Amino acid sequence: MLEIKNLHVKLEEEDKQILKGVDLTVDAGKVHAIMGPNGSGKSTLSYVLSGRDGYEVTEGSASLGGEDLLEMEPEERAAAGVFLAFQYPVEIPGVGNMTFLRTAVNAQRKARGEDELSATDFLKEVRAKAKALKIDADMLKRPVNVGFSGGEKKRNEILQMAMLEPKMCILDETDSGLDVDAMKLVAEGVNALRDEGRGFLVITHYQRLLDHIKPDVVHIMAEGRIVKSGGPELALEVENNGYADILAEVN
Amino acid sequence: MAALDQTQVKEGVDQETVDAVREVGGAYKYGWETEIEMEYAPKGVNPDIVRLISDKNDEPEWMTEWRLAAFERWTKMEEPNWAMVNYPEIDFQNQYYYARPKSMEEKPKSLDEVDPKLLATYEKLGIPLKEQMILAGVEGAENAPAEGRKVAVDAVFDSVSVGTTFQKELKEAGVIFCSISEAIKEHPELVKKYLGSVVPVSDNFYATLNSAVFSDGSFVYVPPGVRCPMELSTYFRINAENTGQFERTLIIADKGSYVSYLEGCTAPQRDTAQLHAAVVEIIIEEDAEVKYSTVQNWFPGDENGKGGIYNFVTKRADCRGDRSKVMWTQVETGSAVTWKYPSCILRGDDSQGEFYSIAIANNYQQADTGTKMVHLGKNTKSRIVSKGISAGKAQNTYRGLVAMHPKAKDSRNYTQCDSLLIGDKCGAHTVPYIEVRNNSSRVEHEATTSKVDDDQLFYCRQRGMDEEEAVALVVNGFCKDVLQALPMEFAMEAQQLVAISLEGSVG
Ligand SMILES: Nc1ncnc2c1ncn2[C@@H]1O[C@H](COP(=O)(O)OP(=O)(O)OP(=O)(O)O)[C@@H](O)[C@H]1O
Ligand SMILES: [Mg+2]
């Protein structure tokens, strides 16, 4: 479903190459995890896939279900099914969380030529999904991410994902900053969305999350490239020995 | 759970806004013109024109004299130039000062007699001059308020008031709501007592000109102890070309009364700039409260800065009685040039003044707006919340005065002044004047300037909103404290306006 071929990306502003030939295919129904040292380009990959400004693709391609992602505006990619749970969710003062969600859901429905969700249906759905993530009514009313704790922000990302029902979910370190219980909630949220039509790309530093969300494939990214791929055991290896052995091996 | 319900309604509103904006598509949506036969006074202003306006309104002699004295003063005054606005010199003799639809020559006795073309004009503006409930219009069972609300409307078209709705119902409550020209004839004792008592004839260049040539406007009197049973509103429409609009509004809230008043304004899209110089006076007696909300949406000029309304307005509330209270809320999205400082004279002890403002300037618009809080009585309180948004090549200035007089012991002011910039060719300026002349009072001032954050926009777009939707959402969030101060109907209109006014400001 998601197909990334030989993707090279540099910063728009300066001559700095960050991704140096990423190849990655995520089939529908699969969960892929990406691990890798700080600064290896994991977040950059997620931003380039979702269309953030500031990067220039110098070579290669990325497509979703055969559609060229790189040609699309960020909102078109969203409507096509790309969702990014941000490593650092953004605060929007004065905009109620619920308003934000509803505007987003309806914008995507409209873009896909579907009818808007009625206020009643929307509320019902949000409440049910929020409850599962232990997000209370107060948090739904508060401005988007403003004054949320780190863990609350991450759960809020998962709530948005649950409401938007994307095809391709990219989670950038959604587990960082979560306590043990919150990690379980988030994992349950993700697992509830797992189905054969949907792919996941889970960026993480820790095996812990992968205990709860069993990945099909684990990739190691280093210096802008995927240097090794394997099964869940690869994550265990990283957890136990760090990256040194793996990096030595590929070099 | 009233608060909760309200929040939910507002949640719904945002969506409506976004939809409405999508539907509207174009930039200024009130730019069309009504084809109607007009009657003009000759161009220019002189004592004869002043007399003619007075005569057209069938005014008593004392009023004519009052106007002539104002005109006399005006000829000796100079146009102020301290505001941060630039515009070509206005030729005051090359304007019409009086324009009315021919069909209004004989004042219609009821709304049924009003020229259908005029009624259609207001209908098209979304202000039906019918005595009907105005529904808050939020779809979705859970969000819609149970019943509609009544809003009485006085419609002013160029120089004359076309009609006022709900007169009978208001009369039963003892409230007088009519055009000022009618009040001059029907309630001369009230007009004589209060007109010019808040904004003196000699107050400033534009107010003095207004005193000489004002043609119509609204008059409100709420008797002691009466809570006005519905919102009152005046809708100003400038239609005629080269015509200045000089309306005059006088609101009196007698002891222990309450009224909420709304003002809306639009004008056709034209190449040449037009002048609008209004005066609003509010008198608030003991324990009375007035809320005055404006959504100003005059034509702002095109994207190259051509045309638009020059808006020079003097608005002032006098909290005469103890424990009286006034709240100004304004959403200023239109006009090429805005020069406007709704003020509060806090004369009574324990009186309170609040000022909530959103001023948006896009393209070549210039806004110099703010407030004056003059604390005269003991233990008086004021609060200022100003949100300025600049986009395109616009300049937006907040100018505010807070004065604590020697007798205003134990008084408080809190000012919060935030500016938001969209793009890098616009400007925001904050000019606070603070005078404290006693040592038991406290003045707090906070100011911020920020840019629309790319990360916020990307976050919204990643979730599926297009760029304009994202900007509208972020900016509406920035303005939230002020939008919440508006009555429901206006809050919706204002949110739409915020979005529309910023069209083309990104990308
Ligand atoms: N806008 C930018 N300006 C300068 N350098 C950048 C920018 N964006 C990314 N980089 C650099 O690119 C490299 C990759 O960054 P990226 O955020 O993708 O790493 P990461 O793998 O997500 O790291 P972490 O595990 O710490 O989140 C880093 O060296 C980073 O400093
Ligand atoms: Mg990262």
Question: In whole angstroms, what is the distance from residue B223 CA to residue B233 CA?
Answer: 18
Under a CB-based contact definition with an 8 Å cutoff, are residues B185 and B58 in contact? yes
Query: Is A120 close to B140, i.e. CB distance below 8 A?
Result: yes
Q: Which range among A2-6, A51-55, A167-171, B501-505 shows the weakest confidence by mean pLDDT?
A: B501-505
Residue-level pLDDT at B130:
64
B87-96 pLDDT per residue, tens:
888 888 888 8
**Interface A:B, Cβ pairs < 8 A:** 116
Contact B483/B453 with Cβ under 8 angstroms?
A: no
Encoded tokens for A1 = 């479903």
Q: Where are the alpha helices (DSSP H) in chain A?
A: 42-50, 74-80, 97-111, 119-132, 137-141, 150-164, 180-193, 207-212, 233-241, 244-250
**B400 part of a folded domain:** no
B58 has pLDDT over 60: yes
CA-based nearest distance A243→chain B, Å: 32
Best of A10, A38, A52, A56 for a ligand 1 pocket test (most atoms within 8 Å of beta carbon): A38
Residues with CB under 6 A from ligand 1: A 11, 18, 36, 38-44, 54, 87
- Yes or no: say if B399 and B370 are a contact pair by the CB < 8 Å rule: yes
Tell which wins on pLDDT, A155 or B25: A155
Length of chain B: 507
A137 pLDDT higher than 90: no
Which residue's CA is minimally distant from atom 3 of ligand 1?
A11
Record the tokens describing residue A63, joined without a space. 């497509």
Domain that holds residue B58: 40-340
- The one-character DSSP state at B140 is S
Give me the residues of B, 2-31, that contact A with CB < 8 A: 7, 10-12, 14-15, 18
d(CA A129, CA A159): 7
pTM for the whole structure: 0.82
Kindly report the nearest CA distance between residue A137 and chain B, in angstroms. 10
Q: Which of A168-177, B96-105, B129-138 has the lowest mean pLDDT?
A: B129-138
- B-chain CB neighbours of A96 within 8 Å are 7, 10-11, 14
Angle at B397 between CA B396 and CA B400, to 5 degrees: 150
d(C-alpha B59, C-alpha B42), whole Å: 19
Report the alpha-carbon distance of residue A172 to residue A158 in Å, rounded: 11
In the prediction, which pLDDT does B235 show? 82
Of the listed ranges B4-18, B186-200, B387-401, the least confidently predicted one is: B4-18
Q: Which residues pair with B101 in a beta bridge?
A: B38
Tell me the two tokens of residue B313. 């307005």
Say if B211 falls within a structural domain.
Answer: yes
In a domain, B100, yes or no: yes
Interchain contact, B464 vs A111, CB within 8 Å: yes
- Domain annotation covers residue B495: no
Type of residue at A72: M
Whether B394 and B334 have beta carbons less than 8 Å apart is answered as: no
CA pair distance A113, A111, nearest whole angstrom: 5
Residue B441 lies in a domain: no
> Quick check: B244 and B96 in contact, CB under 8 A?
yes
* pLDDT of the residue at B42: 85
**Number of folded domains that form chain B:** 1
Which residue from B15, B461, B478 is facing A74, i.e. has the nearest CB? B461
Contact of B308 with B337, CB cutoff 8 Å: yes
B187 part of a folded domain: yes
Nearest CA to ligand 1 atom 13: A39
Residue B17: pLDDT band with limits 50, 70, 90? very low
Nearest by CB: A99 against B11, B453, B454:
B11
Packed helices B47-56 and B61-74: angle between N→C axes, nearest 10 degrees: 150
Contact A123 B476 (CB under 8 A): no
List of E strands, A88-247: 92-96, 143-144, 168-172, 199-203, 217-222, 225-230
Report the SS3 class of residue A118. coil
Sequence-separated (6 or more) residues with CB below 8 Å from residue B152: B164, B165, B166, B167, B169, B170, B177, B230, B231, B232, B233
Q: Which neighbouring-strand residues pair with B432?
A: B400
pLDDT tens profile A205-235: 988 899 999 999 999 999 999 999 999 999 9
The region that residue B50 occupies, defined by phi over 0 for left and psi between -120 and 50 for alpha, beta otherwise, is alpha
More confident residue, B234 or B462: B462
Cβ contact A86–B459 (<8 Å): yes
pLDDT digits (tens, 9 = 90+) for B403-430: 999 999 999 999 999 999 988 888 899 9
Those residues with Cβ within 8 angstroms of residue B356's Cβ, 6 or more apart along the chain or in another chain: B327, B328, B329, B330, B385, B386, B481, B482, B485
Looking at residue B301, its pLDDT comes to 75
Residue of B nearest to A53 (CA): B458
Q: What is the pLDDT of residue B190?
A: 97
Q: Which residue, by CA, sits nearest to atom 7 of ligand 1?
A: A11
Q: Which amino acid, B18?
A: V
Q: Which residues of B touch A98 (CB under 8 A)?
A: 11
The answer to whether position B505 is within a domain reads no
**Ligand approaching nearest to the C-alpha of A16:** 1
pLDDT tens-digit series, residues B204-243: 999 999 999 998 889 999 999 999 998 898 887 777 777 7
Predicted-complex ipTM score = 0.96
Cβ of A52 within 8 Å of Cβ of B458? The answer is: yes
The pLDDT of A143-167, averaged and rounded, is: 94
Which residues have a Cβ under 8 Å from the Cβ of B313 and sit 6 or more positions away? B206, B276, B277, B278, B279, B280, B338, B339, B340
Structural domain contains residue B219: yes
Q: What is the pLDDT of residues B272-330, one digit of tens each?
A: 777 889 999 999 999 999 999 988 777 777 777 787 888 889 999 999 999 999 999 99
CB contact under 8 A, A51 and B461: yes
Average pLDDT across chain A, whole number = 93
